[in-house]
Amino acid sequence: MSKAKNAKLIGHIDCPGGGQVWVDGDTLYVGHMRNPSGTSIYDIADPRNPKLLHRIDVPEGWHSHKVRVADGLMVVNHERFGQDNPEFGGGIAIYDVQNPAEPRQIGKWMTEGKGVHRYDFDGRYAYISPTAKGYVGNIAMILDLKDPTKPEEVGRWWIPGQWEAGGEDYPWANWVPPRCHHPLRVGNRLYVSYWHHGFFILDISDMSKPTLISARNTSTSFPHPTHTCLKMPMTLKGRDVMLVADEDVAKLYPSAPAFTWIYDITDEFNPTPISTFQVEGVDRDGSPQQPMTGCHQPSERFAGGTVVPFAWFAQGLRLIDVADPFAPKEVGYFEPDAPQGFERSSSNDVTLDGRGLVYLIDRQRGVDIIETTVL
Note down pLDDT in tens along the chain; length 375 residues: 789 999 999 999 999 999 999 999 999 999 999 999 999 999 999 999 999 999 999 999 999 999 999 999 999 999 999 889 999 999 999 999 999 999 999 999 999 999 999 999 999 999 999 999 999 999 999 999 999 999 999 999 999 999 999 999 999 999 999 999 999 999 999 999 999 999 999 999 999 999 999 999 999 899 999 999 999 999 999 999 999 999 999 999 999 999 999 999 999 999 999 999 999 999 999 999 999 999 999 999 999 999 999 999 999 999 999 999 999 999 999 999 999 999 999 999 999 999 999 999 999 999 999 999 999
Domain hosting 97: range is 3-372
Q: What is the DSSP letter of 204?
A: -
Position 24 scores a pLDDT of 98
Q: Which residues pair with 231 in a beta bridge?
A: 242
Position 4 scores a pLDDT of 97
Contact status, residue 372 vs residue 360, Cβ threshold 8 Å = no
What sign does the CA torsion over 38, 301, 316, 294 have?
Answer: positive
* Total Cβ atoms within 10 A of residue 207: 15
Cα angle, residue 350 at apex, residues 344 and 355 outer, rounded to 5°: 130
Position 229 scores a pLDDT of 98
Number of domains observed in the structure of the chain: 1
Task: Give Cβ neighbours of residue 248 (< 8 Å, ≥ 6 apart).
Answer: 224, 257, 258, 291, 292, 293, 294, 295, 296, 313
Distance, C-alpha 118 to centroid of its chain:
6
| Beta strand extents in 17-132 (DSSP E only) | 18-24, 27-32, 37-43, 51-57, 62-63, 67-70, 73-80, 90-96, 104-111, 120-121, 125-128
What CATH number corresponds to the domain at position 247? Answer: 2.130.10.10
Task: Give Cβ neighbours of residue 132 (< 8 Å, ≥ 6 apart).
Answer: 111, 112, 113, 139, 141, 156
CB hemisphere CA count around 123 (13 angstroms) = 5
Position 2 scores a pLDDT of 83
Global pTM reads 0.97
Distance CA(9)–CA(345), nearest Å, equals 15
Distance CA(331)–CA(318), nearest Å, equals 8
3-state secondary structure of 321: strand
